[in-house]
Amino acid sequence: MDVLKQRILQEGQHLGRGILKVDSFVNHQVDAPFMMLLGREFARRFGYLKPTKVLTAEISGIAPALATAYALDVPLLYARKTRPITMPAEVYRAKAPSHTKGGAVELMVSPEFLKPEDRVLIIDDFLATGQTILALVRIVQQANATLVGIGAVIEKAFEGGRDVLAHLNVPIESLVVIERFEGERIIFRDPEEQKVSF
Amino acid sequence: MDVLKQRILQEGQHLGRGILKVDSFVNHQVDAPFMMLLGREFARRFGYLKPTKVLTAEISGIAPALATAYALDVPLLYARKTRPITMPAEVYRAKAPSHTKGGAVELMVSPEFLKPEDRVLIIDDFLATGQTILALVRIVQQANATLVGIGAVIEKAFEGGRDVLAHLNVPIESLVVIERFEGERIIFRDPEEQKVSF
């Protein structure tokens, strides 16, 4: 998605050790109209799979997932990392190692909102190691719902997440794929080279 | 806002001690098209103030704030509660007592995205004690930006947040105001009785 590549080249910053800062339009500050455009692109790519629900993990997945849910005209469901007092005691839960905090975070979803008849599209801001998305997948499986696809705004190919998710046999779509960083330079993968995992 | 009242009457649950569960369409699960409608209503009420940025606190403020930012065609900025590695060391920060977790949480905003020329509209899901919103206000003040208004999806009048914020002399708009609970019954304030704080 060229408009996203351009934006990353203009505003993204490689902080070293594979960490890409996109705080000016994806996390922290969110370019709302641009985010809605990304949501429409996800809807264009996944609409044929007839998702009934978009699932993400708080916090930074919420914006792209809401944009996608709106474009698909379905609800968004975001897994919580701390249990709100309004959540029932029995929940679907799965652990994911925390990239930024160290240790592990637990993702929780109330059984009230994920049913066997649901067709779930997982959307997140980054596809890196794939571990957060894998935890979301386990929650979908606990609910006996159907996973129909996985979408990420930015894929960091060098962290191997796509391989971790390949066995799920669902389409995995990233709006841009970063092949590697060369110092401050961001090298995108050529669209023609993108691996098809389905 | 009648459509929101109806929705709260249908799906909201008073769990006791003033806690309203709206997990089926505001938090956790988000009714995306409905949330965008709420955002357009905020834009209708605050548009004349020409906000340049919508500010909220992660986590549950993100959805209504993104919807509002989109309707106003301005960026959303969400204050972080844990410092991501991409955030600079020097940040605007303010503490708010945590309703659900006990203790206090610290809200952090990068100075990169809040400037003296900004006209800031604060949007949150709930206006209860007003303490989270007050922390956001202190961040706006640290940035020497201009606070132009405060909006909440649901106000719990009995928690007194409106009085806490009145000295700010900006319009405070809640889409619905809950006067009190009577057991499981939710009593809304009559629109005619709504206090005007500006």
Tell how far CA B171 is from the center of its chain.
13
Report if residue B118 sits inside a domain. Answer: yes
Report if residue A198 sits inside a domain. Answer: no
Sole residue written with tokens 């009230």 = A112
Chain A residue numbers with beta carbons less than 8 Å from the beta carbon of B38 are none
B80 touches chain A (CB under 8 A): yes
Report if residue B185 sits inside a domain. Answer: yes
Q: How far apart are CA A24 and CA A29, in angstroms?
A: 5
pTM of the model: 0.95
pLDDT at position A135 over 90: yes
pLDDT at position A5 over 70: yes
Report if residue A6 sits inside a domain. Answer: yes
Q: Which helix (H) or strand (E) holds B136?
A: helix B131-142
Cα dihedral: A43, A119, A70, A40 (round 10): -10
Which domain CATH number covers B170? 3.40.50.2020
Instruction: Residue B188: give the domain boundaries.
Output: 2-193
Report if residue B198 sits inside a domain. Answer: no
Count of domains in chain A? 1
Q: How far apart are CA A126 and CA A133, in angstroms?
A: 9
In chain A, % of residues over pLDDT 90: 92
Taking CA–CA distances from A112, the nearest residue in chain B reads: B24
pLDDT at B57: 97
Ramachandran angles phi, psi of B78, nearest 5°: -115, 130
Q: pLDDT by residue (tens digit) across B84-138? A: 999 999 999 999 987 666 689 999 999 999 999 999 999 999 999 999 999 999 9
Q: How far apart are CA A166 and CA A193, in angstroms?
A: 17
Residue among A24, A33, A66 minimizing CB distance to B30: A66
| Whole-Å CA distances, B112 to A24, A25, A94, A100, B77 | 8, 12, 35, 21, 11
Name the β-bridge partners of B140. Answer: none
Question: In whole angstroms, how large is the CA radius of gyration of chain B?
Answer: 16
Chunked into runs of 10 residues, chain B (198 residues) has average pLDDT values of 97 96 97 98 98 97 98 98 92 87 89 98 98 98 98 97 98 98 93 54
